[in-house]
């Protein structure tokens, strides 16, 4: 599948629709590709301008989707076509929805103890017949990593959803990509928490109004400082425009 790529502050973001992103991930699962998909919002891209390791991971990822209104805005502001936002949560749900038809095996890794189990229960309610072949919380020491990798390998998932937060999830996936030997892996941030009901997602009207960032700030005041990345992002993107 071919799609154009837009460089936003050096990060190559794919200009594609949700349907195209899902089809690409499905194709890689069929091919047993070993693909790493990153979901880049404005905050992640700003982090990458200060974190060389994250920057290089995003540069080498198999696919970086535009997760966030800010990312879509940046591409369009720079004069490129960006069809739509491809939110990591929605991409995950669409792949989970399709999983039973394709006999896909899924593994949930991350979030606080008990969250992945609740997300598994929710997935089984929403997508009858889905095969969630393993769950593991995101609280672990470096000494436990070999055991976690072995657990994932023995489960033979087609899709691995990792919710360790940015940039830890991207760095963990990149570091262990070869050892994991999973067809498609995605860093999904708070997706498991939303599925488990421990975190709310913005109402649809706020999503459509591109105000999901504001909802998160109101819900989690501790995130307020991180929202400073948004005006800095707008400034940096505008400054990079030729």
CATH of residue 87's domain is 3.40.50
pLDDT digit string, tens, across residues 97-155: 999 999 999 999 999 999 999 999 999 999 999 999 999 999 999 999 999 999 999 99
Helix (H) or strand (E) holding 92: helix 88-102
pTM above 0.85, yes or no: yes
Is 26 inside any structural domain?
yes
**In this structure, is residue 224 part of a structural domain?**
no
Q: How many domains in the chain?
A: 1
49's tokens = 């301008």
pLDDT digits (tens, 9 = 90+) for 160-212: 999 999 999 999 999 999 999 999 999 999 999 999 998 665 566 655 655 55
pLDDT score at 198: 87
pLDDT at 231: 82
Q: Which domain holds residue 109?
A: 4-196
Give the pLDDT of residue 221: 54
**Residue 227 reports pLDDT greater than 80:** no
| Mean of the per-residue pLDDT values of the chain | 91
What are the CA-CA distances from residue 32 to residues 149, 180, 240 (Å)? 18, 12, 38
The confidence score (pLDDT) of residue 32 equals 92
Inside any domain, residue 144: yes
Q: How far apart are CA 199 and CA 192, in angstroms?
A: 9
């Amino acid at each position: 599948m071919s799609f154009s790529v837009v460089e936003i502050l050096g990060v190559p973001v794919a200009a594609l629709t949700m349907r195209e992103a899902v089809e690409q991930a499905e194709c890689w699962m069929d091919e047993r590709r070993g693909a790493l998909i990153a979901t880049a919002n404005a905050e992640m891209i700003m982090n990458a301008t200060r974190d060389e390791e994250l920057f290089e991971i995003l540069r080498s990822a198999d696919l970086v989707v535009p997760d966030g209104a800010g990312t879509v805005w940046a591409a369009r502001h720079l004069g490129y076509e960006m069809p739509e936002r491809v939110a990591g949560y929605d991409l995950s749900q669409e792949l989970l929805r399709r999983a039973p038809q394709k006999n896909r095996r899924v593994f949930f890794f991350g979030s606080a103890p008990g969250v992945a189990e609740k997300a598994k229960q929710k997935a089984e309610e929403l997508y009858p017949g889905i095969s969630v072949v393993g769950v593991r919380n995101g609280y672990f020491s470096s000494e436990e990593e070999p055991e976690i990798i072995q657990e994932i390998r023995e489960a033979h998932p087609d899709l691995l959803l990792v919710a360790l937060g940015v940039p830890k999830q991207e760095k963990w996936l990149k570091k262990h990509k070869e050892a994991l030997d999973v067809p498609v892996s995605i860093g999904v941030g708070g997706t498991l928490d939303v599925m488990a009901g421990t975190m709310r997602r913005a109402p649809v009207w706020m999503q459509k109004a591109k105000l999901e960032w504001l909802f998160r700030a109101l819900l989690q005041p501790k995130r307020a400082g991180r929202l400073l990345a948004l005006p800095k992002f707008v400034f940096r993107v505008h400054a990079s425009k030729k």
